[in-house]
Amino acid sequence: MTAQLDAVIHPTHRLRICAMLDAGTTVEMAVIRDVVGLSPSALSKQVSALVDAGYVTQERSQQDSRRIWLTLTPQGKTAYRRHIQALQEIVAGSAQPS
């Protein structure tokens, strides 16, 4: 069975966010903002799409409500890994001689 690209994860910024969250358990939103290079409002929009899809959870710090921590949900981890598999299949298929 061929893996399918995930329309929610596919946009570059969301793919990078998921990659960071898959590499770590929980990542502070400010760290993601700095690495991805988005403004706070643009990052919030991308994260909201992932949260709405059930792929990411966000939790505010109890000590400082301005700090937000993001985590990839089990559903998000599965969707991200399937998306990566689909990308790998596309690349592998284009590398084979016809």
Q: Tens place of pLDDT for every residue, the chain, 98 residues?
A: 567 899 999 999 999 999 999 998 899 999 999 999 999 999 999 999 999 999 999 998 778 878 899 999 999 999 999 999 999 998 988 766 65
By C-alpha distance, which of 56, 88, 79 is closest to 7?
A: 79
What global pTM score does this model have? 0.88
From the options 3.40.50.300, 1.10.10.10, 3.20.10.10, 2.60.120.590, give the CATH code of 1-76: 1.10.10.10
Quote the CA–CA distance of 35 and 58 in Å, as a whole number: 18
Both tokens of 8, joined, read 């929610």
By C-alpha distance, which of 49, 47, 52 is closest to 70?
A: 47
